[in-house]
Amino acid sequence: MDSTIEQVLIDAAANARLKAYAPYSKFRVGAALLLPDGQIVAGCNVENASYGLAICAERSAICTAVTMGHREFEAIAVAASPLASPCGACRQFIVEFGKDIEVVCFDSEDRGQIRRWTSGELLPESFEFGQPGAK
């Protein structure tokens, strides 16, 4: 991914993090998806008093993009502080849309801390249902 595009994606994830609803954990996370046409779709984590009902930023962004009619993603940036990689559920959610999606995680308070993987590297033995054309 071009460094200018990556920076725009990182900025979008950092801005989404500012909108997170995290009154319980105080752990705010933002995510931004890069679509093939260059559009960016953002999401943030939203907690709930019934903890299991919380949604992570990555899944929030993907659900928004799917609602908009998108099914292909080039990359996703994840902003947290400290730096954190996607949880297991989010890894499975991301890889559902491809094993070559670039995943960029960074510390939004110290942008020098950054890690990069592909979705397949983060979840090498992902679950696949086996329906042809399901993706």
- Is 58 among the catalytic positions? yes
- Say which residue the tokens 């009619």 belong to: 69
Beta-bridge partners for 75: 34, 102
Q: Are strands 110-118 and 30-34 parallel, antiparallel or unpaired?
A: unpaired
Among 58, 96, 102, 125, the active-site one is 58
Give the amino acid at 31.
A
Interacting residues of 107 by C-beta distance below 8 A, sequence separation 6+: 80, 81, 82, 83, 113, 114
Q: Count other Cβ atoms within 10 Å, centred on residue 53.
A: 9
Which residue numbers are catalytic? Answer: 58
